[in-house]
Structure 1
Amino acid sequence: MRDIHWKPDKNSVIPLHQQIYDYLKGKIINGEWTVGTKIPTQRSLAQQFEVNRSTIVYALEGLIADGLLQSKVGSGTEVLNNTWSLLTSMPPPDWKSYVNSGIYKPNIDIIQEINRSEADPTVIRLGTGELSPELLPNEQMLKIFQDTQKENLSLGYVEPKGRFSLRQKVSEYLRAKGIVASPESILIVSGGLQALQLISIGLLERGATILHETPSYLNSVHVFQSAGMNLLGVPLDQEGVIFEKIEQLKRQHRAALLYTIPTFHNPTGIVMSEQRRQELLKVCQKAALPIIEDDVYSDLWFDSPPPLPLKSQDTQGNVLYIGSVSKILSPGLRIGWIVGPEPVIDRLADIKMQTDYGSSSLSQYAVEKWLSNGLFTDYAKRIRTELRKRRDFTVHILEKYFSNFATWSIPKGGFYIWLKLTTNASTRKLFELALREKILLNPGLIYDKLDDDHLRISYSYASFEQLERGLIRLSELIAHHTPKLR
């Protein structure tokens, strides 16, 4: 609902309050805002419509007087009636109760705010985990599709596990990572998040417990929670997840599996050491605890390649491996893969066919072409070079402007710097303050609800000019408002 793009015409002879009244009334009587819908706050509406708050108050008072809205102390303003409920004795459907009873849990408010703000081109996005539009291979992608007249390109559905020729290319690509996987043990999915969704509904029971590193990207999505499962964090250090208590945690909490991002961890950027990988795999095999290995960042190394994936050492089929082209090639293609034992892949493929009947055949065709003839490998080299420049540029700004009130480690790859504030400033309040100045942050509480000290700073999306301007202004906000940020 907060995604409102309409604005009143300040050059119109119709008063602003009347334009706003008519717009809001239209949302109600056309059924877009149903009975029980909570409308945005007066301050929010004033910001979105770029008018004084008194103008909003005047418009809302008219709607309240007409019996369309009601204001409740402590709970805001909501839709009371619409034209149908005024004209008939039969009450309209209570869509609010439907929304509240849906099985898929809503994101926390701050993530919803981030998702909305990312659509605003005037916002400087200092936390966004994707490549800058200027780094995406638009011309090369266009050429691939222009060359399709030479190919036997199908626009129909593909087989349940995905385009076989693509799975062959993925199999060859994984071989360079030490992973032996036949096309039969690979499922093409619509990105890494769908891989997690399929696992949650296809393999696990309600009430199961998922172990994960803390902090973790998994806390920022509700894929397992919405399937009726619980998340339990396991601490990590600079070598990766601390594995000593995993076997005990499995027994105590009936843990179903462990989710890990061992390479360029999101959000901390940590790379699990080779020894830690071997020890973790051994402990999980002994405890019969399956592992989900999320490996979407491993091609983004700067100086030297990271250790091989856990899956490369997995001889017992204990690891479900998730990969994707979203972090290097294009987030919009929505193509990734799951690698695992064939019975598991067969099960997940069946679930996928029931949910979307297969990932886009056009996207699969494009990714297959990128994985052929060294195109993807060459492009990955270019992206690594560009990201390293951005990392160095960002670290230089941090050293110049943040040294007095923050600490960080320099990442060896990936997208992120895990910035810890040492000023006792609340990153939740800093998020709100920065957003008012069109600077979008990813505070640590997204990844660990108890963390109010960290920011995930991304150097992958914002331009050099935006990184400099946004970070310098952020440092000023921290310096000037620290007493107010607690």
Structure 2
Amino acid sequence: MNYWKPDRQSTIPLHQQIEHYIRHKIISGEWPVGTRLPSQRQLASSFEVNRSTITIALDELKSWGIIEGNKGGGTTVINNTWNMIAAASQQTIDWQAYVKAGTHQPNLKTIQKINHAEFAQGIIRTGTGELGKELMPHHQISSILQQAPSEIFLGYEEPKGNFELRQQIAQYVKQWGIHCSSDSILIVSGSIQALQLIAVGLLARPSSIVAESSSYIRSIQVFQSAGIPIHSVAMDKEGIDLQDLQATVAQYQSGLVYTIPTFHNPTGILMSEQRRRDLIEQCQQLRLPIIEDDVYRELWLDDIPPAPLKSQDTNGNIVYLGSMSKMMSPGLRVGWVIAPEPVIERLADIKMQTDYGSSNLSQYVATQWFAQSYHEPHIQWVREQLRIRRDQMLELLQQYFQDIADWEIPTGGFYIWVRLTVIVPMQQLFEHAIQANILINPGYLYEAEATSSIRLSYAYTSPEHLRTSIALLKKYIILLRR
């Protein structure tokens, strides 16, 4: 994300300021040889100037032999000051080769674009999986921080995380029938870190995991980067299809099942109570551990959902993931893993090797959040607000998408999984939308074959902005349909 803007009050022409800025990026090594510059449209938008101004600046840099434009291939850095003054035998390091050689897989290009665009001024985020800022507990957090003694932030915590916080979480999950001690809990920086630890700490090679289709797990590169393939299992209205699970496990050497049984991401499906019992029984027969990602549990809008899978786990076969991100604040970066003690010890050891423990400040806030009884009144209020927003989103879809899409009414969570009934090139729809300052989450982020689906969220963006977005999306879908 670029925060620099040319100074319009300066006597130096805008194109010269931009030229100097880009040249500095190249000379300083921030944009080394081989770096592909953003498109002229992106640069113009970022610097808030006309494209003609960008063209003049880039032409000047090309005349210096610093950048080169390729037809259809964008503009690339080919030289810098060091190259120009050094002897011919001397060369700068090719950082692009190092970047490409890294073992961790890059995000999908669309996700990279979303991650950058989310913070652009004026963007409307229709698929963002977090609460809007107006739904976050600003006053409660301020009150907690005002009470905080400074000495608690100055040292490291123990490998498993703050002891008092783990005690609070053990008490918190009892309401759903999960009984565990603080020794069976690991504090992490959210479910993504938990999955990273599991990927490198628990799975032998070769092995694979199975997950619902479509699934959030495909939108991150945690298991893929660890060399662990993901195999998809079909879903119906009650959750994961157990016959397909049986067939998939028989075909591949599977190490575990990853599931979001409660308000599934991205489809919003709520796994039925009977399907939960059957899934646990089947995985016990297959000797297949389960990762239960339960971060949306508290966000029920109509009825209280069935108890977690973990509540029925009498054999220690289920690893349970929870988080503060969806129900309170994503910026707090506090989540937890509940699992048998040997698993927690293993994951805690790896965590100490990677970050030496989660933030003391965040853990203190989370501890006081539960200890001072802030949680229950806040989550009740959040449910009320999300219920209103969900119903408003459903009205918008009925108004604009009735003739071009199908969807189910979610009973909780953040998402509505919209399945287009007309054929539309989804990548083009994404690009048209982003040019209009609208961000969508295409279905192919969660399953390669989900090329006609969109994940919409009613949790982040205001209803007024959603109305504008849905109307424009309908316009683009009609324009692009085949």
TM-score scaled by length of structure 2: 0.96
Q: 1:8 aligns with which of 6, 9, 30?
A: 6
Residue of structure 2 equivalent to 1:25: 23
The code of the aligned residue for 2:38 comes to: P
SS at match of 2:382: helix
Deviation at 1:206, TM superposition (A): 4.0
Residue of structure 2 equivalent to 1:38: 36
Cα 1:460–1:66 shift into 2, 3 Å: same
Deviation at 1:152, TM superposition (A): 7.9
Deviation at 1:154, TM superposition (A): 5.1
Deviation at 1:57, TM superposition (A): 2.8
Q: Retained in 2: the 8 A contact 1:206–1:227?
A: no
Deviations 1:325-378 (A, max 9, x none): 110111111001001111010000000111111111111111111112432122
Residue of structure 1 equivalent to 2:74: 76
Number of residue pairs the alignment of both structures matches? 480
Q: Retained in 1: the 8 A contact 2:105–2:221?
A: yes
The more displaced of 64-73 and 449-458 is 64-73
1:122 aligns with 2:122: yes
Q: Retained in 2: the 8 A contact 1:267–1:447?
A: yes
SS at match of 1:245: helix
Q: Retained in 2: the 8 A contact 1:179–1:311?
A: yes
Q: Retained in 1: the 8 A contact 2:231–2:248?
A: no
Residue of structure 2 equivalent to 1:398: 397
Deviations 1:385-410 (A, max 9, x none): 11101101111111122212111111
The code of the aligned residue for 2:126 comes to: L
Residue of structure 2 equivalent to 1:172: 171
Deviation at 1:59, TM superposition (A): 2.2
The CA distance in 2 between the partners of 1:75 and 1:373, in whole Å, is: 57
SS at match of 2:398: helix
Deviation at 1:452, TM superposition (A): 1.5
Q: Retained in 2: the 8 A contact 1:247–1:284?
A: no
Q: Retained in 1: the 8 A contact 2:234–2:244?
A: no
Deviation at 1:74, TM superposition (A): 4.1
The CA distance in 2 between the partners of 1:251 and 1:421, in whole Å, is: 33
Detail structure 1 runs of 4+ shifted over 6 Å in the superposition: none
The CA distance in 1 between the partners of 2:85 and 2:55, in whole Å, is: 27
Deviation at 1:42, TM superposition (A): 2.6
How do residues 198-213 of structure 1 correspond to structure 2 at under 5 angstroms?
198-213=197-212
1:432 aligns with 2:397: no
Q: 1:63 aligns with which of 61, 64, 68?
A: 61
1:359 aligns with 2:358: yes
1:344 aligns with 2:338: no
Deviation at 1:463, TM superposition (A): 1.3
Deviation at 1:61, TM superposition (A): 2.3
The more displaced of 77-86 and 186-195 is 77-86
> What is the RMSD of the two structures over their aligned residues, measured on CA atoms?
1.7
1:158 aligns with 2:184: no
1:375 aligns with 2:377: no
Deviations 1:170-223 (A, max 9, x none): 111111111111111110111111100110111123442111101000111001
Deviation at 1:261, TM superposition (A): 0.3
TM-score scaled by length of structure 1: 0.95
The more displaced of 42-51 and 100-109 is 42-51
The CA distance in 1 between the partners of 2:308 and 2:59, in whole Å, is: 61
Q: Retained in 2: the 8 A contact 1:155–1:362?
A: no
The CA distance in 2 between the partners of 1:235 and 1:452, in whole Å, is: 16
SS at match of 1:306: coil
| Runs of at least 5 residues in structure 2 that lack an aligned partner in the other structure | none
The more displaced of 371-380 and 162-171 is 371-380
Deviations 1:437-484 (A, max 9, x none): 1111111011111212111110000112212222223223333x134x
The CA distance in 2 between the partners of 1:241 and 1:394, in whole Å, is: 26
The CA distance in 1 between the partners of 2:10 and 2:195, in whole Å, is: 51
Q: Retained in 2: the 8 A contact 1:250–1:256?
A: no
Residue of structure 2 equivalent to 1:109: 109
Of all paired residues, the percent bearing the same amino acid is 50
Deviation at 1:8, TM superposition (A): 3.0
Deviation at 1:46, TM superposition (A): 2.9
SS at match of 1:244: helix
Residue of structure 2 equivalent to 1:257: 256
How do residues 264-283 of structure 1 correspond to structure 2 at under 5 angstroms?
264-283=263-282
The CA distance in 1 between the partners of 2:373 and 2:459, in whole Å, is: 23
Cα 1:275–1:136 shift into 2, 3 Å: same
SS at match of 2:473: helix
The code of the aligned residue for 2:423 comes to: N
The CA distance in 1 between the partners of 2:147 and 2:53, in whole Å, is: 56
